[in-house]
Structure 1
Amino acid sequence: MSRHALPRILPLTLALLLAACGNGEQVQQSIRPAMVVQPQPAADAVEAYPGEVRARFESELAFRIGGKVSKRLVDSGARVKKDQPLAELDPEDVRLQLEASRAQVAAAEANLKLVRAERDRYRTLLDRQLISHSQFDTVENQYRAGEARLKQIRAEFNVANNQAGYAVLRSQADGVISTRRVEVGQVVAAGQTVFTLAADGEREVLISLPEQSIDRFRIGQDVSVELWSQPGQRFPGRIRELSPAADPQSRTYAARVSFKDAKVPAELGQSARVFVQVNGEVPLSVPLSALTAEAGSPYVWVVDPESSRVKRTPVRIGAYGEDRVPVLEGLKAEDWVVAAGVQVLREGQEVRPVDRANRAVKMLAKE
């Protein structure tokens, strides 16, 4: 056989072999099932935000003077009473300052006694016309200066006396020490936070709200709160406080939610979730499992009712909820959206729509 005929014979031989291996029929690709759902109205969408139970009144306690901490009498989590000592500064400096002020008061009193006696003598001499009025005025001014000096020194003594009391930090109310930021031997400045006191009384939930949806929240808005220790039980509440500025690090807005019932068994530091009804502001919502994204752009797979083929549909979403996500743009109420297995689909793929019970779904095309 000529070597020039080999290239023409080889493809024919391979074709015959392939035909002999099969029956000549084209393999039909199987149609995979896809669970589909329709978007729910916004009235059924609820947004959930994690939070922490806090006291309504939280005070940052600090010494009014600086010094070295000599005693720390409580720790974090301690329950304290009003006016109970919490920590003490080394009293030596304030004691010396108080003694110096007391000595200055004694000196000013002695000086005033002297100038008073001098004034009285000069008054007698003036009455006898033995001195001039100008000489008496000089002594009178010295007496008035002595009086003013004594008032000044007494005021400084009162300040020093108060500062001696400031060396002991006391609780401002009944409550619980939530944080401690001092140790014995530490030198603190005046006004530096030493303890944080969570006062007894009302409890609230502190949450953070995303900046892209802050316009949907307002003070007084009704919400519901679920405590981690009591799952499934929701307590009514309302937004009491809303921060006017975003946190510079998290870019979220702090909000405080108060309970409508003051007897809710909420303890400090407990985890909680706050549920907010969207009140129709978001037109539709879909399950979280229906949403996927590419390059930061979210989209869903919408099934064509006529051809049963999927189409990638970009959407604009709101804040994520507990198990659903609101859709601001991109979907219609009559659309059918793939709710599971979205990561394995491709554009134009034919699917067999089923519901959550694996029953076939009959999708009617819109006329």
Structure 2
Amino acid sequence: MIRTPCLHALLVLLPLAAACSHHDDPAYEEVRPVRSTVVGATGGSVGATYSGEIRARYESRLGFRTSGKIVARLVEVGTHVKRGQPLMQLDPAQETLHAVAATADVEAARSRVAKAGIDLQRTEQLLGRQFASQAELDQQRLALAEAESQLKSALAQQQVKWNQRSYTELVADRDGVVTAITAEAGQVVSAGQQVVTLAGDGEREVLVSVAESRVDELRRAKALQVSVWAHKGKTYRGQLRELAPDADSVTRTYSARVTVADADAALMLGMTASVFAPDVDGDSAIRLPLGAIHHQDGQARVWVVDEKTARVAARTVQLGSAQNDGVLIVGGLAGGETVVTAGVHMLHAGQTVKTAGSPVVAQGRQP
């Protein structure tokens, strides 16, 4: 049995022995695997793409110039028509009656002119025999002038009524193809109401909707290339012809029309088209995935990897335009630098990372 003084001595020696057997273990820093890319200036190959559809340069939304009931529809959607070809007809009965009434007014006006001429001639004869006064002669001259003016008015009204009679037939104003019909036989339409849409032959354009953040980008483009999904590998030269001065009230986008300079029969109306601007951000732009960008203190930053130490450092960059799932970097980076593209929100300054293709090396850190 151990005596009490010996027990006290053992209790004092045990902590010392434990202290002698303890060795300081080196602390290991976590090495986080990340995705990265070596950036480089694109030498003018950075571009922007805008989606749209093929449209005709000239589109006519046709309507009757008088009101009435449609009695005949002479074309179908897709019909190719010539200038002057009838498209629809209104019931001409009412306009015909108006024209007949106007013709009767003309005949009545002619009769009044003839009567006023006879009265003037008779008054002149009576004045020569001193049976009429000069005042009566002047009055007859004024009556003849008034009758002649009424005849001119009646003739003009007659022409108007016959014109309206001809307006009961809607004709094509140019060679083209019918793209829409919004009225049918039996329907009563008002003057000017759109009933047929006609796309003219000849020039073709691409109608695109541009977000407000990309308007200047499209305006600065020096050259445009047009392609269609149906004919992959074939491109056409494009030129910006029209850019709307204000945004659409519903979509809040700006409408732009790009003329296809060398359009051929392969470009059919309504085809899905893409407009590519190859040089919207100049010769020194760099493209990065959106996942490579993180924001801190209101500034856009990326993690740049030091090739020697495999540690990351934050770098503030200037952003250009967004393109699909990428963004253009116009300042803050140089060609040849390695930038983290995935996992940016799990890093801190000075952290060691393992990029794709590099070995994992644990870095010791003293406590």
TM norm structure 1: 0.79
Deviation of 1:327 (Å):
2.3
Q: Is the 8 A contact 2:294 2:345 kept in 1?
A: no
Are residues 183 and 218 of structure 1, via their aligned partners in 2, closer, same or farther at CA, if it must alter by over 3 Å?
same
Q: Is the 8 A contact 1:34 1:351 kept in 2?
A: no
Give distance in 1, aligned partners of 2:255 and 2:313: 39
Are residues 298 and 229 of structure 1, via their aligned partners in 2, closer, same or farther at CA, if it must alter by over 3 Å?
farther
Q: Is the 8 A contact 2:319 2:327 kept in 1?
A: yes
Deviations, residues 264-285 of structure 1 (Å, cap 9, x unaligned): 6211111111110225447423
Q: Is the 8 A contact 1:290 1:300 kept in 2?
A: no
Q: Is the 8 A contact 1:42 1:279 kept in 2?
A: no
Paired residue for 2:46?
Answer: 45
Paired residue for 2:247?
Answer: 246
The question of 1:116 aligning with 2:129 is answered no
SS in 2 for 1:107: helix
Alignment of 1:1-367 (within 5 A): 31-41=32-42, 43-218=44-219, 221-263=222-264, 265-278=266-279, 280-281=281-282, 283-288=284-289, 290-291=291-292, 301-305=302-306, 307-310=309-312, 317-321=319-323, 324-339=326-341, 341-342=342-343, 345-347=346-348, 350-354=352-356, 358=357
Deviations, residues 112-140 of structure 1 (Å, cap 9, x unaligned): 22222222211211222210010111111
Q: Is the 8 A contact 2:292 2:339 kept in 1?
A: no
Give distance in 2, aligned partners of 1:72 and 1:342: 64
Amino acid corresponding to residue 132 of structure 2 in structure 1: I
Amino acid corresponding to residue 288 of structure 1 in structure 2: P
Q: Is the 8 A contact 2:303 2:344 kept in 1?
A: no
Q: Is the 8 A contact 2:224 2:276 kept in 1?
A: yes
Deviation of 1:346 (Å):
4.2
Paired residue for 1:19?
Answer: none
SS in 2 for 1:61: strand
Deviations, residues 143-196 of structure 1 (Å, cap 9, x unaligned): 111111011011001000001101111001111112222233333332222222
Give distance in 2, aligned partners of 1:95 and 1:106: 17
Give distance in 2, aligned partners of 1:83 and 1:219: 42
Give distance in 1, aligned partners of 2:163 and 2:47: 55
Deviation of 1:103 (Å):
1.6
Paired residue for 2:16?
Answer: none
Q: Which runs of 5+ in 1 are unaligned?
A: 1-23, 362-367
Are residues 67 and 293 of structure 1, via their aligned partners in 2, closer, same or farther at CA, if it must alter by over 3 Å?
farther
Give distance in 2, aligned partners of 1:116 and 1:211: 73
Q: Which runs of 5+ in 2 are unaligned?
A: 1-24, 361-367
Deviations, residues 59-109 of structure 1 (Å, cap 9, x unaligned): 221211223333222232222111111112222321221122112112112
Between 1:140-149 and 1:65-74, the stretch displaced more is 65-74
Between 1:32-41 and 1:188-197, the stretch displaced more is 32-41
Are residues 246 and 314 of structure 1, via their aligned partners in 2, closer, same or farther at CA, if it must alter by over 3 Å?
farther
Q: Is the 8 A contact 1:300 1:338 kept in 2?
A: no
TM norm structure 2: 0.79
Q: Is the 8 A contact 2:225 2:238 kept in 1?
A: yes
Give distance in 2, aligned partners of 1:26 and 1:193: 80
Paired residue for 1:8?
Answer: none
- Coordinate RMSD, CA, aligned: 3.2
Between 1:74-83 and 1:320-329, the stretch displaced more is 320-329
Deviation of 1:215 (Å):
2.9
Give distance in 2, aligned partners of 1:43 and 1:32: 32
Give distance in 2, aligned partners of 1:304 and 1:293: 15
Give distance in 2, aligned partners of 1:168 and 1:316: 62
Paired residue for 2:22?
Answer: none
Are residues 329 and 234 of structure 1, via their aligned partners in 2, closer, same or farther at CA, if it must alter by over 3 Å?
same
Are residues 219 and 100 of structure 1, via their aligned partners in 2, closer, same or farther at CA, if it must alter by over 3 Å?
farther
Give distance in 2, aligned partners of 1:159 and 1:219: 51
Q: Is the 8 A contact 1:67 1:189 kept in 2?
A: yes
SS in 2 for 1:41: coil
Give distance in 1, aligned partners of 2:50 and 2:310: 37
Q: Is the 8 A contact 2:55 2:269 kept in 1?
A: yes
Identity between Structure 1 and Structure 2 (%) = 33
Deviation of 1:201 (Å):
0.7
Amino acid corresponding to residue 87 of structure 2 in structure 1: L
